[in-house]
Amino acid sequence: MNKDLKPKDKKKFLEKLASEIKSCQKCGLCKTATQAVPGDGHYNADIMFIGEAPGFYEDRDGIPFVGRAGKLLDFLLHQINLARKDIYITNIVKHRPPENRDPTEAEILACQPFLKKQIEIIQPKVIATLGRYAMNYFLPNAKISASHGVEVIMPNYVLYPLYHPAAALRNGTVKKTLILDFLRLPEIVKKVESGEIEAKDQNNENNAQYELLK
């Protein structure tokens, strides 16, 4: 990973990657989706949010996390004095699976290089996964009920699992938990900035899936 990427290079590389994603045909999802949803936000963001896959509204608009869940995410960002333009948000797979089914392992593997490159370009301090599925991509054995709101030190960033906003819309208790976890995000970024948390623990057993991303 190149730690010396300049912001203007990050912007250029991310745009180039988005155009590669838009023309990608590496798995069958591009045949059934309306369009690709590469990602949205700032190329130099401290926080990167990662969900599972585009849904109906994302597929229609080409932007991740729109619709009711996206509105809740915007509300949560506002609570920590951030907006979409300050963070980066994407999904594990970039085309919508038919009928919102879970992506298959083959589809995830085909799409994996794009997410890996996005992380390498942006170099976020914190990756906040949204929902169980995105969390298990990085931490295969983790349970969302136990791991939400618990920071995990990865080699180059801190992973911070959160409940999915759509789950929060269905359940008031989950919504309260998501809000409380979300409010801790600025504190975690500050801890990384100050060196209190150092994202370099190569021996963390949770890094198993990260190895796949290299």
Q: Where does this chain bind ligand SF4 (CB under 6 A)?
A: 21, 24-27, 29-30, 36, 93-95, 107, 110-111
* Complex with ligand SF4: residue 19 or 145, whichever CB lies closer: 19
Torsion (CA) 119, 120, 126, 131 in degrees, nearest 10: 20
* Complex with ligand SF4: residue 36 or 45, whichever CB lies closer: 36
User: For residues 83 and 98, what is the distance between their CA atoms, to the nearest angstrom?
Assistant: 30
User: For residues 179 and 205, what is the distance between their CA atoms, to the nearest angstrom?
Assistant: 28
Q: What is the largest CA-CA distance in the chain?
A: 46
| Contact indicator for 93, 103 with CB cutoff of 8 Å | yes
Q: Cβ 93 to ligand SF4, closest distance in Å? A: 4
* Complex with ligand SF4: residue 47 or 110, whichever CB lies closer: 110
Q: Cβ 114 to ligand SF4, closest distance in Å? A: 6
Q: Cβ 113 to ligand SF4, closest distance in Å? A: 8
Nearest Cα residue to 38 out of 128, 121, 98, 161: 121
Could you give phi then psi for residue 187, rounded to 5 degrees? Answer: -65, -40
Q: Cβ 99 to ligand SF4, closest distance in Å? A: 15
Q: Cβ 126 to ligand SF4, closest distance in Å? A: 24
* Complex with ligand SF4: residue 76 or 110, whichever CB lies closer: 110
* Complex with ligand SF4: residue 74 or 120, whichever CB lies closer: 120
